[in-house]
């Protein structure tokens, strides 16, 4: 009498079984894993995590992690899609061909298991339940949280990759570029970064990477952008309140055609035309994906490109 055919598990169920097995091996101490190479301990939001000395198959589950890995010469085997899209951030042309294994809100556990990572770089604020699942697949590094802690978070990713000195060298070079702008070009006293949305302008926190780059280049932040606290940006401003962003130079990021159309309409309004930056031709349109949602070394470099061009003219 033939044996009954075993029931085939769905992809998700199979992934769950595999993750459970991986977790058991990790708890028991897998000899093959220990023999694979030396390890290092990294301080993370979930305590100390032991990572490979030289990881070979890295998954980057945040834009900052992906940017940092690529900047340091590491091409991940999986990453997350940009907000509202199904591909990595457009500005990271180096990410072409990297499989998408997560959305901003949730990792695809089945695809992550298939990628066979030996290190996962996850986003700050990752939920403990998701962390536990990822950590059962591979050592998972989540930087300490804090909106204005972005530079230290880049350092955590670099340390996990074993390339912290290389990151420090890159960031020093970026700051030297900003200092050159300050020394060689006429920079306005104040600058502000806006994201232009269909319902109005929002002011980005001056403590984020673009604001820090502008400060290094010699500008000062407006009270509205320096006083956002631990929020990424203000609520949308009406045209009547645009005087609160009356800086010497305005950098405006948009994300889509709808936002660009809203900005074009705002430019025709007297309230916009009265801004001193508008009167002086010192309003610069920039890539919103780089200027208002990124912090990695590659994004930082793109921001400095825009700053140099803006103040060279």
pLDDT at residue 313, rounded to an integer:
62
Please tell me the distance from the alpha carbon of residue 228 to that of residue 52, in angstroms, as a whole number. 39
* Cα 224 from chain centre: 23
The predicted-structure confidence for 221-272, as pLDDT tens digits, reads as follows 999 999 998 899 999 998 889 999 999 999 998 877 777 887 888 888 899 9
Please tell me the distance from the alpha carbon of residue 221 to that of residue 204, in angstroms, as a whole number. 10
The predicted-structure confidence for 273-290, as pLDDT tens digits, reads as follows 999 999 999 999 999 889
- 18 pLDDT band, cuts 50/70/90, is very low
Q: What is the mean pLDDT of residues 175-196?
A: 91
Q: What is the mean pLDDT of residues 120-131?
A: 95
The predicted-structure confidence for 57-100, as pLDDT tens digits, reads as follows 999 999 999 999 999 999 999 999 987 778 899 999 999 999 99
Q: Which two tokens stand for residue 272?
A: 């916009």
Fold of 177-312: Rossmann fold (3.40.50)
- Specify the CATH number of the domain 11-163: 3.40.50.1980
pLDDT at residue 19, rounded to an integer:
47
Every domain of the chain with CATH number 3.40.50.1980 lies at 11-163, 177-312
- Choice among 5-19, 103-117, 266-280 with the minimum mean pLDDT: 5-19
Q: What is the mean pLDDT of residues 124-138?
A: 96
pLDDT at residue 27, rounded to an integer:
35
pLDDT at residue 26, rounded to an integer:
41
pLDDT at residue 28, rounded to an integer:
33
pLDDT at residue 22, rounded to an integer:
46
- Choice among 18-32, 75-89, 167-181, 235-249 with the minimum mean pLDDT: 18-32
Q: Is the pLDDT of residue 36 over 80?
A: no
Q: What percent of the chain has pLDDT over 70?
A: 88
Q: Is the pLDDT of residue 11 over 90?
A: no
């Amino acid at each position: 009498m033939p044996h009954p055919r075993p029931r085939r598990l769905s992809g998700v169920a199979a992934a769950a079984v595999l993750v459970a097995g991986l977790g058991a091996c990790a708890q028991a101490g897998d000899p093959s894993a220990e023999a694979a190479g030396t390890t290092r301990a990294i301080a993370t939001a979930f305590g100390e995590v032991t990572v490979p000395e030289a990881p070979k198959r890295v998954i980057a589950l945040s834009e900052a992690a992906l940017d940092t890995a690529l900047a340091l010469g590491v091409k991940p085997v999986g990453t997350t899609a940009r907000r509202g899209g199904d591909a990595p951030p457009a500005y990271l042309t180096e990410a072409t061909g990297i499989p998408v294994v997560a959305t901003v809100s949730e990792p695809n556990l089945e695809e992550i298991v298939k990628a066979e990572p030996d290190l996962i770089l996850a986003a700050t604020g990752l939920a403990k339940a998701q962390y536990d699942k990822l950590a059962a697949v591979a050592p998972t590094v989540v930087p300490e949280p804090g909106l204005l802690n972005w530079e230290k978070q880049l350092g955590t990713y670099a340390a996990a990759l074993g390339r912290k000195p290389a990151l420090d060298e890159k960031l020093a070079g970026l700051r030297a570029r900003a200092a050159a702008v300050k020394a060689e070009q006429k920079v306005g006293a104040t600058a502000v970064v806006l994201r232009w949305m269909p319902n109005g302008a929002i002011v980005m926190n001056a403590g984020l990477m673009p604001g820090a780059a502008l400060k290094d280049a010699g500008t000062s932040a407006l009270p509205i952008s320096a006083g956002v606290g631990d929020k990424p940006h203000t609520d949308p401003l009406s045209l009547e309140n645009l005087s609160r962003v009356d800086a010497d130079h305005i950098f405006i990021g948009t994300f889509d055609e709808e936002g660009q159309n809203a900005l074009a309409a705002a430019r025709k309004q007297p309230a916009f035309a009265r801004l001193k930056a508008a009167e002086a031709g010192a309003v610069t349109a920039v890539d919103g994906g780089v200027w208002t949602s990124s912090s990695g070394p590659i994004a930082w470099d793109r921001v400095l490109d825009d700053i140099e061009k803006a103040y060279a003219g």
